[in-house]
Amino acid sequence: MATRPMALRTIALLALAMAAAPAGAQQNFDTVKVTVQPVAGRVHVLFGSGGNMALLTGDDGAVLVDDQYAPLSAKIRAAVASVSNKPVRFVVNTHLHGDHTGGNESFGTAGAVIVAHDNVRSRLSVEQFNQRLNRRTPPAPYAALPVVTFTESMTLHLDGDSVQVVHLPPAHTDGDAYIRFIKANVIHLGDVFNNGGYPFVDTGSGGTIDGFITGADAVLAIADERTRIIPGHGPVATRADLAEYRRMVATIRDRILALVRQGKSLTEVAATRPTAEFDAKWGKGFMTPDLFLDIVYHDLTARHGTR
């Protein structure tokens, strides 16, 4: 795999972004409140610190999608108990990141079966090394690893609903899945949908910007006007919200790709301000316009570039 050396500027931008990112490792979890809101049918959404969680309840046991950070497991369990008289029977991870899988060890030890794409288990099983950040993440504890993994898709049948777990083309990472509650008409899209900010392409975990577009298309194709879409971060959304996000990502990708194919440098691409009209709405979070452009430029250059 030929990766080109990362510019110092990229590393500096990422370091800044990570320092500014919400819910970093230095966060005080004592002050975090975990809240529960109904979404549709038997599906609730839980907010705390980290990735949004979905919860299906019923007599067969609860299904929890993502579990945030380890120090929040007791609060998440209490929030689940406020709407479910059964414990969590299955945890489904949308992808490997620690703000979505940090509770796996606690829930797994308590008896939940953890479900995720093959690549989530394989990446969590070994030390992760992020070249851009020069940061090492140790292998996850054994009890945190998914027990059931899948390649393309799988379905859980319980609580009067069917829960489809479907792998997406590499986007945020190479282990992304959406979770669709068929009867409730709710879809959790993980970090392939960042509702309120530019998407983070974790190229070190196999992500690509192109996958955000094909991933959004896959969900737009099965969603209708009544579908509620839970993003990895940000408020619960509609199909129209996802369509707008998809247009934003595709417009920026297409502009940068055209310039990459002409052999333009990052400085030359930045001078055209390819994200300009989107920055007010999507560029206020930890994924700043500069950082987003930098990551997308390097991703597209590695795969389509002539330089």
Q: By CB under 5 A, which span of 37-45, 80-88, 96-104, 270-278 interacts with Zn ion?
A: 96-104
Does residue 104 contact residue 67 with C-beta atoms inside 8 Å?
A: yes
Nearer to Zn ion, 42 or 172 (CB): 172
Nearer to Zn ion, 101 or 185 (CB): 101
Q: Enumerate the H helices of the chain as residue ranges.
A: 8-20, 73-81, 98-101, 104-109, 118-125, 209-222, 239-261, 266-271, 279-282, 289-304
Q: Which amino acid is at 87?
A: P
Q: How far is CA 301 from the centre of its chain?
A: 23
Nearer to Zn ion, 97 or 298 (CB): 97
- Does 161 participate in binding Zn ion (rule CB under 5 A)? no
Taking the complex as a whole, the smallest distance from the CB of residue 100 to Zn ion amounts, in Å, to 6
Taking the complex as a whole, the smallest distance from the CB of residue 232 to Zn ion amounts, in Å, to 6
Q: By CB under 5 A, which span of 94-102, 136-144, 155-163, 214-222 interacts with Zn ion?
A: 94-102
Which residue of the chain is nearest Zn ion when measured via CB?
Answer: 97
38 SS3 class = strand
Strand pairing category for 128-130 and 186-188: unpaired
How far is Cα 185 from Cα 297, in angstroms, rounded to an integer?
36
Taking the complex as a whole, the smallest distance from the CB of residue 238 to Zn ion amounts, in Å, to 22
How many Cβ atoms are within 10 Å of 279's Cβ, its own excluded? 15
Q: By CB under 5 A, which span of 55-63, 91-99, 125-133, 263-271 interacts with Zn ion?
A: 91-99
How far is Cα 157 from Cα 139, in angstroms, rounded to an integer?
31
Neighbour-count burial of 154, counting CB atoms closer than 10 A to its CB (0-12 exposed, 13-18 middle, 19+ buried): middle
Out of 77, 97, 246, 253, the only residue in the binding site for Zn ion (CB under 5 A) is 97
Taking the complex as a whole, the smallest distance from the CB of residue 259 to Zn ion amounts, in Å, to 27
Which among 260, 254, 253 is positioned nearest to 305, based on CA atoms?
A: 260
- Token pair recorded at residue 170: 């590499």
Q: By CB under 5 A, which span of 34-42, 56-64, 97-105, 212-220 interacts with Zn ion?
A: 97-105
Residue labelled with tokens 């417009």:
251
Nearer to Zn ion, 192 or 248 (CB): 192
Q: By CB under 5 A, which span of 52-60, 90-98, 113-121, 143-151 interacts with Zn ion?
A: 90-98
Taking the complex as a whole, the smallest distance from the CB of residue 66 to Zn ion amounts, in Å, to 10
How far is Cα 51 from Cα 99, in angstroms, rounded to an integer?
6
Nearer to Zn ion, 97 or 123 (CB): 97
Neighbour-count burial of 110, counting CB atoms closer than 10 A to its CB (0-12 exposed, 13-18 middle, 19+ buried): middle
How far is Cα 259 from Cα 213, in angstroms, rounded to an integer?
19
Nearer to Zn ion, 97 or 117 (CB): 97
Residues in 173-212 that interact with Zn ion by CB under 5 A: 191
Q: Note the residues at the interface with Zn ion (CB under 5 A).
A: 97, 191
